[in-house]
Amino acid sequence: MATKTVIKKTAKKATKKVVKKAECKTKAVKKAVESSVRSVRAMTITEKLLAAHAGLKEVTPGQLINAKVDIALGNDITAPIAIREFKKIGAKKVFDRKKVVLVPDHFTPNKDIASATQCKILRDFAKEQKLTHYYDGGDVGVEHALLPEQGVVGPGDLVIGADSHTCTYGALGAFATGVGSTDLAAAMISGEVWFKVPETIKIVFKGKLNKWVSGKDLILHTIGDLGVDGALYKAMEFTGPVIDKLSMDSRLSLCNMAIEAGGKSGIVVPDATTKKYVKGRFERKAVYYTSDKDAEYSEVREYDCSKLEPQVAMPHLPENTVNVSKVGRVNLDQVVIGSCTNGRMEDMAVTAKVLKGKKVAKGTRLIIIPATPEIYNESMKKGYFDTFTKAGAIISPPTCGPCLGGHMGILAAGEVALATTNRNFLGRMGHVKSELYLSNPAVAAASAIKGRIVHPKVIK
């Protein structure tokens, strides 16, 4: 019996020793994991998005990465070049027919034989590759309004587009940026693209927006402060109390023009407004990233919006911004309301509000372009078209049209225009001896009534 007792005690001690050793090993592993987690640097939303798509735990500004794309986008100007390179390489199939998107929106409805040929290249390629997201005829909308609306892009995405205003989708919490046509071709084949991880500028909007001030004014004011190259190859992260209350339409306008400050992208951290917008709309599962509290930024800029007036960008750069009250007397031959910047439902609503019961000034042409078929139809149902036509406006089907000097409103030498578009470069909307000013839709509508640039508050 004594021998058995000794054996039992020895076995018990050995068991305890093994258990204790295992517990120590578990604690060591746990400690190592915790240490590993802590070793991952604090990151901005942009850095987290890029790291995730590159399959990395972390990235740092300046780092070169190869990342998988969720959407590769082309239009009727840029995609034909990409398709040519795609075929030149000898590629047979796109990496994913659901993720390559073609939108012929710049010169549609086709304005001439050359533009018709461009669009046919897209049409034939889309048919050949059986692309899920190809838009034609009555389905075509301005790409950067159409894709968020249709749920093709959304939170957590990495989107590249052979169009500089692809940065629009950052409003949804995506990393979205413009690339060249050859980069698009490579992405259509491989599903990947290389990036240099950008630094991030944090832009904080404080205070409360005044009446007639929108996301367009926030970005014009920011570009006016930074300059057209002040955010060169940097992500612009928009935040603050004003952003928290900003509508999705205004956020899309805001991020759309990040490129006009030289930005690689514009982005807003997703919140309740984002989730409400994408619910039942986004075709994939949304992934919501945020910026760490101790993330590093190349700089932080704060703006008090409580004193901000509607902004106007004077010719011939978006950085030439002034308060609308400081513009002086500028008579107008043409006003354009639309584009990927300001052709959304919110823009149609404010335009109708200003124009209701009024007439466009004699000698001034007003062109209104709802950005998508859905916005077009909704505007018609709400009676906005009745208001527009009674005021003397011309209503265009969805198209980029005059924004890039394509069609539907080209300027002659000596003419002056005000537009809700995103660029006012020399000759942008037509003749090099024309002049183009930029503003929000409320200013544009009020100015069409007066025949000169004015603050909307003067319209009674």
Find the CATH number of the domain harbouring 388: 3.30.499.10
pTM of the model: 0.89
Q: Is residue 42 one of the residues assigned to a domain?
A: no
User: Which of 298, 299, 209, 290 has its CA nearest to residue 254?
Assistant: 209
Single-letter amino acid, residue 392: G
What is residue 401's predicted lDDT score, i.e. its pLDDT? 94
Do 296 and 182 share a structural domain?
yes
Please state, in angstroms and rounded to a whole number, the distance separating the CA atoms of residues 78 and 95.
19
Q: In which band, very low, low, confident or very high, does the pLDDT at 215 lie, cut at 50, 70 and 90?
A: very high
Provide the β-strand partners of residue 75: 103
Residue 39 has pLDDT above 80, yes or no: no
pLDDT > 70 fraction of the chain, expressed in percent and rounded? 92
Report which secondary-structure segment, H or E, holds 367. Answer: strand 365-368
Provide the β-strand partners of residue 419: 336, 438
Rounded to an integer, the average pLDDT of 406-418 is: 97
Residue 391 has pLDDT above 60, yes or no: yes
Strands 234-239 vs 100-103: parallel, antiparallel or unpaired:
unpaired
Q: Judge contact between 206 and 303, C-beta under 8 A.
A: yes
Torsion-angle region of 129 (φ positive above 0: left; ψ -120 to 50: alpha; else: beta): alpha
Do 184 and 298 share a structural domain?
yes
Q: Which residue has the higher pLDDT, 13 or 218?
A: 218
Residue 50 has pLDDT above 90, yes or no: yes
3-state secondary structure at position 194: strand
Q: Is residue 25 one of the residues assigned to a domain?
A: no
Number of folded domains in the chain? 2
Do 171 and 113 share a structural domain?
yes
Number of residues assigned to the chain? 460
Instruction: Look at residues 306, 325, 357 and tell me which one is the last residue of a structural domain.
Output: 306
Specify the range with the lowest mean pLDDT, choosing from 11-25, 303-317, 407-421. Answer: 11-25
Q: Going edge to edge, which strands form the sheet with 175-178?
A: 133-134, 100-103, 71-75, 158-161, 175-178
What are 301-322's pLDDT values in tens digits?
999 999 999 999 999 999 999 9
Q: Judge contact between 337 and 368, C-beta under 8 A.
A: yes
Do 331 and 278 share a structural domain?
no
Q: In which band, very low, low, confident or very high, does the pLDDT at 31 lie, cut at 50, 70 and 90?
A: very low
Enumerate residues 6+ apart whose C-beta is below 8 A from 330: 416, 418, 437, 452, 453
Q: Judge contact between 370 and 249, C-beta under 8 A.
A: no
User: Residue 181 corresponds to which tokens in the numbers above?
Assistant: 């046509």
Strands 158-161 vs 199-206: parallel, antiparallel or unpaired:
unpaired
Rounded to an integer, the average pLDDT of 331-349 is: 98
Q: In which band, very low, low, confident or very high, does the pLDDT at 345 lie, cut at 50, 70 and 90?
A: very high
Residue 293 has pLDDT above 70, yes or no: yes
Do 286 and 249 share a structural domain?
yes
Please state, in angstroms and rounded to a whole number, the distance separating the CA atoms of residues 341 and 166.
11
Q: In which band, very low, low, confident or very high, does the pLDDT at 15 lie, cut at 50, 70 and 90?
A: very low
Number of helices followed by number of strands (H, E) in the chain: 15, 18
Residue 93 has pLDDT above 70, yes or no: yes
Residue 6 has pLDDT above 90, yes or no: no
- Tracing tokens 């005021």 back to the chain, one arrives at 391
Q: Is residue 403 one of the residues assigned to a domain?
A: yes
- Mean confidence (pLDDT) of the chain: 92
Residue 213 has pLDDT above 70, yes or no: yes
Instruction: Look at residues 285, 306, 327 and tell me which one is the last residue of a structural domain.
Output: 306
C-alpha distances out from residue 294 to 34, 44, 62, 166, 239, Å: 18, 9, 19, 28, 15
Residue 28 has pLDDT above 50, yes or no: no
Single-letter amino acid, residue 122: L
Rounded to an integer, the average pLDDT of 110-129 is: 96
Residue 420 has pLDDT above 50, yes or no: yes
Q: Is residue 342 one of the residues assigned to a domain?
A: yes
Strands 311-313 vs 192-196: parallel, antiparallel or unpaired:
unpaired
